[in-house]
Amino acid sequence: MSLIPKSHPRVKSLLIREKLVNGFDNGLVAKEGLLAQGRGEAFDYLLGEKTGKTAKLAIRATAAQLLLAKMPVISINGNVAALCPKQIIKLSKHVKAKLEVNLFYANEKRKKAIIKTLKNNGAKEILGTNKKSSRRLPGIDSARRIVDKDGIYAADVVVVPLEDGDRTIALRKAGKTVITFDLNPLSRTSQTANITIVDNVTRAIDVLISESKKLSKKNPKYLRKIIDDFDNKKNLTENVIQIKNNLSRRARIA
């Protein structure tokens, strides 16, 4: 039972935090994942804890990109498995993307717990588990370099939510289109990805699912135009301006 009072003004953010802490207690989340959550919460607070205009633009471009992809793959880490397993699987079904577990802090026990959670939430095939089909992605020192030959290694579009910078750079160098969810618009991942959704993954994922449903009826030319019209650098700059404006507003109130 949750100890968070329903009337608390920040009940939604506290419930997200609770999901992650439960994920840690259940062996899905790395200790470092709790720190990542803390960093994310700080940015979420500064962004107003809602899906803004810029996030909506990035979500629309993401939906178009996933629907146009030949072989999209969604990379799953401990935090994502704890925060939104059902939605990630729902998204993968809508856009016909494969799922691959890929951890920064490699740990077989944690990987097994993540796979179990994904299966319990309806996932059929999960890549990243078979050593025989693993390949090395050049340019990465962390465990993230080990990818599946039928998954991230071969993908044209890779979704990497809550990611570290090195792999995003390596994936771009390998010629892949990279999409991320990252509340920090200044992170290396945010700055390097082709499309950065600066929003809490737990909120943005639902918007992405419904946008993917809507856009699945459109033709490839229409989808291509959405991608071509999207400017990630401009979007990120607007996110930073939004944070600056929120800070000035709050400073005036204080």
Nearest-approach distance from CB 106 to ligand PTJ, in angstroms: 7
Nearest-approach distance from CB 23 to ligand PTJ, in angstroms: 10
CB nearer to ligand PTJ: give 51 or 202: 202
Nearest-approach distance from CB 124 to ligand PTJ, in angstroms: 22
* Whole-angstrom distance, CA of residue 160 vs CA of residue 123: 18
What is the binding site for ligand PTJ (CB under 6 A)? 30, 32-33, 36-37, 39-40, 43, 77-79, 83, 103-105, 162-164, 181-184, 187, 200-202
Nearest-approach distance from CB 225 to ligand PTJ, in angstroms: 27
Enclosing H/E stretch for 243? helix 232-253
- End-to-end, the C-alpha distance of the chain in Å comes to 35
* Whole-angstrom distance, CA of residue 235 vs CA of residue 233: 5
Q: Are 232 and 193 in contact (CB under 8 A)?
A: yes
Strands 134-136 and 195-197: unpaired
CB nearer to ligand PTJ: give 68 or 199: 199
CB nearer to ligand PTJ: give 43 or 68: 43
Nearest-approach distance from CB 220 to ligand PTJ, in angstroms: 29
* Whole-angstrom distance, CA of residue 142 vs CA of residue 118: 23
CB nearer to ligand PTJ: give 187 or 192: 187
CB nearer to ligand PTJ: give 12 or 218: 12
Closest-by-Cβ residue to ligand PTJ is 40
Q: Which of 205, 182, 194 is nearest to 94 (CA)?
A: 205
- Read off the DSSP letter of residue 137: P
